[in-house]
Amino acid sequence: MHDQNDLYEQILFENLGADSLLKNASLIASGSHNQGIRLDTPADSFFLKINFEHERDILKKEAEGLDLLRANTFLQVPEVFGFGRIGDYNYLLMEFIQQRRQNPNYWENLGIGLAHLHLTQEQQFGLEKDNFIASLQQRNIHTDNWLDFFIEFRLEPLIGKAYFDRLIPLDFLKKFQEIYPRLQGIFPEEKPALLHGDLWSGNVVCNAEGQPALIDPAVYFGHREMDLAFSRLFGGFDQEFYDAYESAFPLEPEFESRMGIYNLYPLLVHLNLFGSAYLPGIERIVKRFEN
């Protein structure tokens, strides 16, 4: 533990200067590829993410994603104080979000906040650079058309990886790819909107003011229905959130009928990261679009 504290002190010193002495460090999240540590100094608290990925710049991309989100939303997004590599560790040092009980207008503000974020729009889908969703690479090549972008840079890389890693057989790969032509015309035409990109309930935390704060994004300019579909996949968002979003930036009719298709992407992410327990959910959606 002594060694770890030396590392944390060095990170604080390099990013915040000599005033920030470590008073306490506690592990608060331990995932498959990251650890989350709360660092307390006499004046402040910080959230430190570390991982041991040697060749990949996941935490740098997360820092860039947080910066892009923060520049385009009134919701809290943790300030980034620094990122880099020390010894065997990659790290990302950010503002610590003190978590409190939700204010009565928490969900309403999240709905309005997401609608407002989605009003940050560009001409093309994608982003200047690739990034990651969890530990999986996310390709962001600029594309004019949502369907092309979605198939080529969201579905294909992950269904291909699942096949390569023997998570699915060849006949399911083929079945999956056969639905692509049937997706023609199902997405309403909309401007590419800035997305959080990994919007499940674990990535929205309640801050000290009882208001929502956004963490752990996988940003890009995409169809805004992606964020809304993802938020429905594992539950956890209150109806007030959807009502507030709808009043601020109404969705096109029949969103529900398209939701499964958007959610093929997060389900493929889960299939690749956590295994075949997520396959039946994908098979059910594909079945609906066969023939």
Position 179 contacts ligand ADP (CB under 6 A): no
Position 119 contacts ligand ADP (CB under 6 A): no
- DSSP helix/strand/coil, 121: strand
Position 31 contacts ligand ADP (CB under 6 A): yes
Question: Shortest distance, CB of residue 43 to ligand ADP, whole angstroms?
Answer: 16
Position 96 contacts ligand ADP (CB under 6 A): yes
Residues sharing a CB contact under 8 Å with residue 250, sequence separation 6 or more, in sequence order: none
Q: Is the dihedral of CA 55, 61, 62, 63 positive or negative?
A: positive
The residue within the footprint of ligand ADP, chosen from 37, 63, 93, 97 (CB under 6 A), is 97
Report yes or no: 148 and 119 within 8 Å, Cβ to Cβ.
Answer: no
Position 29 contacts ligand ADP (CB under 6 A): yes
Whole-angstrom distance, CA of residue 155 vs CA of residue 160: 8
CA dihedral 254, 255, 261, 263 (to 10 degrees): -150
Which residue among the candidates 171, 198, 216, 238 is catalytic per the annotation?
198
What x/- string results for residues 32 through 71 when contact with ligand ADP is judged by CB under 6 A?
Answer: --x-x----------x------------------------
> Of 140-148, 174-182, 198-206, 269-277, which segment contacts ligand ADP by CB under 6 A?
198-206
Whole-angstrom distance, CA of residue 166 vs CA of residue 96: 40
C-beta closer to ligand ADP: residue 29 or 86: 29
> Of 146-154, 187-195, 197-205, 282-290, which segment contacts ligand ADP by CB under 6 A?
197-205
Report yes or no: 78 and 97 within 8 Å, Cβ to Cβ.
Answer: yes
> Of 28-36, 136-144, 156-164, 233-241, which segment contacts ligand ADP by CB under 6 A?
28-36
The residue within the footprint of ligand ADP, chosen from 155, 215, 219, 267 (CB under 6 A), is 215
| CB neighbours of residue 31 within 10 Å | 11
- Strands, sheet with 35-40, edge to edge from the N-terminal-most edge strand: 24-30, 35-40, 45-51, 89-95, 80-86
Whole-angstrom distance, CA of residue 236 vs CA of residue 220: 23
Position 250 contacts ligand ADP (CB under 6 A): no
Q: Quick one: DSSP state of residue 54?
A: S
C-beta closer to ligand ADP: residue 90 or 109: 90
Residue 44 is a catalytic residue: no
Position 109 contacts ligand ADP (CB under 6 A): no
Q: Which of 262, 222, 249, 54 is nearest to 139 (CA)?
A: 222
The residue within the footprint of ligand ADP, chosen from 136, 147, 205, 248 (CB under 6 A), is 205
Whole-angstrom distance, CA of residue 84 vs CA of residue 62: 12
Position 78 contacts ligand ADP (CB under 6 A): yes
The residues assigned a catalytic role are 198
Give contact residues for ligand ADP (rule: CB under 6 A): 28-29, 31, 34, 36, 47, 78, 94-97, 202-203, 205, 215-216
